[in-house]
Amino acid sequence: MRLKSSAYWWCQLGGWLFYSLTWVFFAYLFEQKYTNIFYSRLALQVISGLVFTHLLRDLLIRFNLRPPTQKQKWGQLALVIILLCIVFNFVNSIVVEWLRLYDPAKKISVLKRFWSNLIFDSPLIFIWTCIYFIWHYVELGRKTEVQKVKLETLVKELELKTIKSHINPHFIFNALNSIRALVDENPDRARTAITELSNILRSSMQSEKLELTPLEKELDIVKDYLALEYIRFEDRLQVEYDIDEDTLDQPVPPMMLQMLVENAIKHGIGRQKEGGVVRVISDFKDNHHELTVQNTGHISGDLDFLHDGFGINSTRNRLKILFGGRASFEIHDLPGKDMVEAVVKLPIKDM
């Protein structure tokens, strides 16, 4: 508030100083005489202008006439400005007469001086009002833009939190189902699976508060998850990594790669009697960071998975929220191969 008040007074003083210097400049340009009356009248004009425009500002605030002005208050605004112009010029006329700031050879009555001032000096008040309103409209536009950005940021955070709130339960339930299948069959392996799950949960809880996390940390979660799934699938699950080490510090959405791998297991390997391979690839291609998850299987007969699958939809939504049009996601069958490929393209972080 203090900063705004300071800016207001600097604008007031600067504006009226500019007005007075303009008069001096034109007087010099047209070779008019610089008399004591000229400077005194100019000083009176500046001082009264400061006082009455500040009074006008207080009236606009008091009667709630500042921009944006409501339609029904434009009449009140016009009335306030007209009355203030009358008082402004009347006071100036009286003070000029009282201080005798005029050429005795060209003396006119107070009434004539008032009407002359009303015609020629009133535009000062109107110009000041226009500048005041323009300032407030610009300020209002700036605040609206800032509020819009804040609102978009808030919506983005809420959307991300909503997605994340679904990610962890979705993952946990699947992992617990895997462990449940081992409890009676192989208790020792079940205990190992619980340890693996605790490692995954610890990592996911640390990354839950972040919008982005380094790929290296995401890969640690994926490796723990695949180790957990290997206990269930044993030799039916083959895992391959093809990771460019230069991509390890690239930012990726937390749990996104894990979810794509989870989908590869659930919709791919889990439906193959002989099992299959899950391949994770990370590389730089065409000025972007490309993350690829390949798995044995096909999606041609599983169209509902493409349109309604939680992992697919959450991946698309998160990429759109975080990167807009700078990131993309697609999933398709590899031509001529019994393989499905999910590809995420992300913008490269500046080194």
> What CATH code is carried by the domain that includes residue 214?
3.30.565.10
Domain end call among 98, 126, 149? 149
Residues 138 and 26 reside in one and the same domain: yes
In a domain, 298, yes or no: yes
In a domain, 157, yes or no: no
> 203 pLDDT band (50/70/90 cuts)?
low
Report the number of distinct structural domains present in the chain.
2
Residues 73 and 200 reside in one and the same domain: no
Instruction: Tell me the pLDDT tens digit for each residue of 103-161.
Output: 777 778 888 888 888 888 888 888 888 888 888 788 777 777 777 766 566 556 655 55
Residues 255 and 324 reside in one and the same domain: yes
- In this predicted structure, the answer to whether residue 345 has a pLDDT above a threshold of 80 is yes
Residues 191 and 339 reside in one and the same domain: yes
Q: How many beta carbons lie within 10 A of that of residue 108, not counting itself?
A: 12
In a domain, 162, yes or no: no
Residues 92 and 229 reside in one and the same domain: no
Q: What is the pTM of this model?
A: 0.52
Instruction: Tell me the pLDDT tens digit for each residue of 67-104.
Output: 766 666 777 888 888 998 899 888 888 888 888 777 77
In a domain, 155, yes or no: no
Domain extent, residue 80, equals 2-149
In a domain, 145, yes or no: yes
Specify the DSSP element, H or E, that contains 182.
Answer: helix 110-183
**Quick one: how far is CA 256 from the chain centroid?**
24
Residues 300 and 192 reside in one and the same domain: yes
Residues 200 and 143 reside in one and the same domain: no
How confident is the model over 210-230, as a mean pLDDT? 85
Instruction: Tell me the pLDDT tens digit for each residue of 22-50.
Output: 888 877 777 666 667 778 888 888 889 89
In a domain, 212, yes or no: yes
The pLDDT value given to residue 166: 46
Residues 29 and 89 reside in one and the same domain: yes
In a domain, 224, yes or no: yes
Residues 229 and 143 reside in one and the same domain: no
Residues 132 and 264 reside in one and the same domain: no
Residues 120 and 192 reside in one and the same domain: no
Q: How far apart are CA 156 and CA 76, in angstroms?
A: 43
In a domain, 170, yes or no: no
Residues 111 and 190 reside in one and the same domain: no
The reply to whether omega before 253 is within 30° of 0 (cis) is no
Domain end call among 130, 149, 168? 149
Domain end call among 97, 123, 149? 149
Instruction: Tell me the pLDDT tens digit for each residue of 273-299.
Output: 888 999 999 999 988 999 999 999 887
What's the mean per-residue pLDDT of the chain? 80
Give me the residues paired with residue 239 across strands: 278
One-letter amino acid identity for 342?
A: A
Tell which residue, 195, 169, 170, 171, has the closest CA to residue 182. 195
